[in-house]
Chain A
Amino acid sequence: MKLKKIESLLRRKVSKNIVCSEFHSSIVLEGEVEKWDEVIRAGKLAANKGYKGVVNKIKVKGLEIPKMKLPSIRDGTLEGKKFDVLIIGGGIIGSSIAREISKWDVSIALVDKEEDVGTHTSSRNDGVVHPGIAPPSGSKKTFYNVRGNKMYTRISKELDIEFSRKGSLVLYNNNFLKIIKPLIRSRAKKNGVEIYFLDVEQAKEIEPNITDEIKGAFFLPSAGVLSPYKATIAYAENAAQNGVNFFLETAAESMEVKNGKIIFVSTNRGKIYPKVVINAAGNFADEAANMAGDQCFTIHPRKGEEVILDKKKGWLLNSIVSKLTINRHSNTKGGGLIKTVDGNILIGPNAYEQPYKEDYTTTPNGIGEVLNKHLYTIKGLNKADVITYFAGTRAATYEEDFIVEKSEYIENLIYAAGIQSPGITSAPAIAVDVEKMAVEILRNYMSIRKKNNWNPKREGIPLVNSLPYEERKRLIAQNPDYGVIICRCEEISNGEVIDAIHSPIPARSLDSIKRRVRAGMGRCQGGFCTPLIMKIIHEESGISMLKISKKGGKSYILREETKNSLRRVKAKEKLGKR
């Protein structure tokens, strides 16, 4: 469609204030509207109408969207440093790319603005390795999903990631499946996904505790489950072992571009001079593209909320169960119940548009919606089993597909952007393609070859509590710390916490320890072990008790020593006098 035609469509259907223009083969929307919903509607209407992407700059009257949160440190430790490859973003996408490129004898830096890898979307999702039936045939999503799914068999072994491929059971409770069954079958065939249609009895053999109110189900055996943050950490650790430099609390803030080439990237720790830049900045990938003067898409953060139940009820579910919802316009799979690799049941997500990219507040309505929709699909679950809940945001573009390609306009920029769901599933496949693109670009500037000592294997921290009796005994004999239980709910030992602190990407905060070894993730939510873990962090890494944080930055747990308040009062008085 021609630009003017789209513009008049948007003016008619959304708001008279919208103006359209073209930039870098994309359509740019500008103007001011009343509600966020109108911004989204305009973006969606303009999508897939012959332009490369939609750059949606429409503003909502009176709505101030906070800027990306930046780390508080500012220094020059990276000033002038040169790297062959710079990866922006340490989610699963950036981390897996780093690991694949580390096969090559080149220098690689990965920057992430947070204190650890995988703190954003990659730790706020379902961890389902999807079979690949949901995305439309022919899309990049489907291509990477199906390939990534297959690759996890090998990757999970190489990187020592717990991965369980128990399949996914989709239930339906009405008869109109008769009509759409052929459609589902043909989608499965086109996408290359194995599928079986089951009657109620067969479904109950797989999941005995499903509700009686169903008419049948289909089963997708290739679906699996992993811990998405552990997978991200595993990829990052293997990359670090193979020489990738991880700079955390380091944000890309702007770029210097000359003659269609990025010369340097400014960060809060100085300017970095890379030969190739890879944009894996998740929800902020559009802003990073804009830094290079190449914004050809917009991310609109789609939020999802999730609930976790006590392990006690884990036995009620074996795999993944969801109910079929048929909604052509929906961009999510509707959520369901998942047995996590750690034995809990995870329920969710819902999906709604909202303007904030890193607002992870949960809401009574959202969590209520998730529980009401799914809790009773499995008999025996109830609200008192909830131990925690959380939220994440999907980095969706208006085209609703992944962007995995070299930039058309900047010669040394590669995109791995718009990676919404199924991004966890697709990561292994995206990473090897981005590796190829990076190698092609690098060859323009230098000659490169593969390392001969690249090590694809990474060994995780031992899961002490699940070792067989004799093996556990042997391990404790070697290191008695593995025998001292620190986190009583999850049965995690002192030794595992110490391992996390000394791991290739060292854990410093309570949350980063949680993501590595689960201490504090059980039913008491750290009530008992928080002080003990702080003590271990203090002893192992020398950080003072007052500087130990929940999640980096200034999220300190403690304020001051006891018997000290007089000093504080005096200090305040002094400040007051000045």
Chain B
Amino acid sequence: MKSYDVVILGAGPAGLAAAITSNDNGSKTLVIERENKPGGILKQCIHDGFGIVKFGQRLSGPEYAYKFIEEAEEKNVEMKFSSFVTEIKKSDEKFELKLVNSGGMEKIETKSIVLATGCRERTAKQIFIHGSRPAGVYAAGTVQYFTNIMGYLPGEKCVILGSGDIGLIMARRLTLEGTKVLGVYEAKPEPSGLKRNLAQCLEDYSIPLYLSHTITKVFGDERVNAVEVSKVDKNMQPIKGTEKIIKCDTVMLSVGLIPENEVAESLGLRMDPSTKGPLVDQDLMSVNVSGVFSCGNSLHVNDLVDYVSESGEIAGLGAARYSLRKETRLITFNKGKNLLYLVPQRINVKSENKKVIFYFRVKATMKNVEFVVKLGNHKILKTRYLYLSPPEMKRIIFDLPSDLTDDSELGFEAYEGER
């Protein structure tokens, strides 16, 4: 049985960054990717805007990915493609993985694992769309694959449900290809995509955005021929009498992403219900199954790939240093009432990693926000944000106080105005 220090699942931006870091730190590293080449979802993201934070450049998805692929290849990081992990078992100090590919079945063992498995899209059924079941209803990522990788368009007249970023980007992409995009319908009162995408993908192309609206029914036998849209109330329930029929042949859904954590769940990792990713400490290691690290979109859904790579680096470093890791002493903290989530969710006071990067989102749009970190009653950090909204993930970095102990009371808070 082949044996590794670090095995990474997924060769998207998170997995590649983790692999390079773990390799640089002297660990025997293997990347396992189920698709036939590296790059993850970036392969199909041919628009620009990747790498602004990390490289100060507006790269396309494949260009961004290539920087990491090239580096990993130069450094001879071992990667297996078209390979699928079917089972992972933890035994004593090791993990045993079974994987399958066209060469057959193989067992390998490793000291630590990095999960960089990305995310999948929510489906029409998960948001309880009803009506008949014709062809023509697709997730935006699927349409992106059809269009950008395969060179096919799904239809002529498209209605988009949900204002997630992939939907917005595809609204523009389809428009450029001559598909008529009739509108984007969003059930929430606020759009869920980034401001920059709303401006560059909808406004610039005069594509209307209807907030507090949803699709209540799909029509068509063989292929979609219309949808019924309705206004919704505060509780997202359709309002009777506001129904409108719109003729179209395609419905594209951009209603959210879900971290892919089937492997994590099979290992029994405790999950955070608000991120749908594992609970981790500042090295991005699972709080209850030691030796398993998580990063990228499988940890929590990111809106910028730059932070995906960053989290890959943290997890890769954590995994490389795993065998040197001393004790673990986790402390939890209060995240206040306005934060939707905060990653990591725990601090290991014994970790050598004292420079902690937190990622967070707020529950609702807030203006003129003071964000504080407290140790007991002391404010150990204070920053201001003019504007915070759920679609924009924020990142904050700070040095842990050297006197942090198991019973330190760490707390976070975000509020409008000053206190």
Contact = CB atoms under 8 A, between A and B. Distances in A.
A524 B34 contact: no
A477 B84 contact: no
A233 interface: no
Interface string A500-517: 000000000000000000
Interface in A377-406: 384, 386-390
B104 A558 contact: no
A562 B149 CA distance: 11
A312 interface: yes
Interface string A551-578: 1011111111111111011000000000
Contacts of B156: 559, 568
Contacts of B126: 384, 386-387
Contact of B100 (A387, A483, A565): A483
B132 A565 contact: no
Given A363-B130, A476-B100, A561 B153 contact: yes
Contact of B178 (A469, A481, A554, A566): A566
B125 A388 contact: yes
B379 interface: no
Contact of B128 (A364, A465, A559): A364
Given A388-B125, A389-B125, A364 B147 contact: no
A491 B124 CA distance: 22
B134 interface: yes
B47 interface: no
Interface stretch (A49-57, A289-297, A335-343, A354-362): A354-362
B179 A527 contact: no
Given A531-B145, A558-B153, A558-B154, A387 B104 contact: no
A528 interface: yes
B228 to A, nearest CB: 12
Nearest to B273: A384
Contact of A469 (B98, B123, B147, B153): B98
Interface in A197-235: none
Contacts of A558: 146, 152-154
B123 A524 contact: yes
A554 B105 contact: no
Contacts of B146: 531, 558
B245 to A, nearest CB: 15
A360 B249 CA distance: 19
A359 B223 contact: no
Given A527-B120, A561-B151, A476 B142 contact: no
B131 A524 contact: no
Contacts of B410: none
A476 B134 contact: no
A419 to B, nearest CB: 24
Contacts of B221: 69, 553, 555
B229 to A, nearest CB: 15
B145 A525 contact: no
Interface stretch (A244-252, A434-442, A542-550): A542-550
A484 interface: yes
A367 interface: yes
Nearest to B253: A527
Contact of B130 (A362, A524, A568): A362
Nearest to A569: B178
Contacts of A269: none
A485 B34 contact: yes
Interface in B123-144: 123-126, 128, 130-136, 138-139, 141-142
Given A550-B134, A558-B153, A565-B179, A477 B128 contact: no
Given A360-B133, A361-B130, A559 B154 contact: yes
Contact of B86 (A465, A528, A530): A465
Given A361-B131, A367-B128, A472 B120 contact: no
Nearest to B120: A524
Interface in A330-376: 359-364, 367
**Chain B interface category by residue count:** 35 or more
A523 interface: yes
A528 B120 contact: yes
B102 interface: yes
A312 B264 CA distance: 12
Contact of B123 (A473, A527, A545): A527
Contacts of B98: 469
Given A387-B125, A531-B149, A559-B153, A483 B102 contact: yes
Contact of A557 (B133, B135, B141): B135
Most buried by A among B102, B139, B145, B249: B102
B417 interface: no
Contacts of A140: none
Given A387-B126, A485-B34, A531-B145, A559 B178 contact: no
Nearest to B133: A360
Interface of A is mostly: mixed
B121 interface: yes
B265 interface: yes
Contacts of B93: none
B15 to A, nearest CB: 15
A119 to B, nearest CB: 12
Interface string B232-265: 0000000000000000010000000000001001
A311 B120 CA distance: 16
Contact of A387 (B82, B121, B123, B145): B123
B154 A557 contact: yes
A531 B86 CA distance: 22
Contacts of B204: none
A261 interface: no
A469 B107 CA distance: 10
B49 interface: no
A541 B147 CA distance: 23
A562 B151 CA distance: 5
A362 B131 CA distance: 5
Contacts of A564: 153, 178
A484 B101 CA distance: 5
Contacts of B34: 485, 488
B78 interface: no
Contacts of A525: 123-125
B103 interface: yes
Contact of B105 (A367, A389, A473): A473
A559 B155 CA distance: 5
Contact of B177 (A469, A530, A563): A563
A136 interface: no
B150 interface: yes
Interface in B33-71: 34
B418 interface: no
A546 B152 contact: yes
A549 B135 contact: yes
B222 interface: yes
A530 B142 contact: yes
Nearest to A567: B178
Most buried by A among B125, B138, B177, B262: B125
B132 to A, nearest CB: 5
A480 interface: yes
Closest 4 CB pairs of A and B: A565-B178, A550-B135, A480-B102, A555-B222
Given A387-B123, A477-B104, 20 more contacts: A361-B130, A362-B130, A364-B128, A364-B130, A386-B126, A388-B125, A483-B101, A483-B102, A525-B125, A528-B142, A545-B150, A549-B222, A555-B223, A559-B154, A559-B249, A561-B153, A562-B177, A563-B177, A565-B179, A569-B178
Interface of B: 34, 82, 84, 86, 98, 100-105, 120-121, 123-126, 128, 130-136, 138-139, 141-142, 145-147, 149-156, 177-179, 221-223, 249, 262, 265
12 contacts: A359-B132, A386-B126, A390-B133, A483-B101, A484-B101, A524-B123, A528-B142, A551-B222, A553-B221, A564-B178, A566-B178, A568-B178
Interface of A: 69, 312, 359-364, 367, 384, 386-390, 465, 469, 472-473, 476-477, 480-481, 483-485, 488, 491, 523-528, 530-531, 535, 545-546, 549-551, 553-566, 568-569
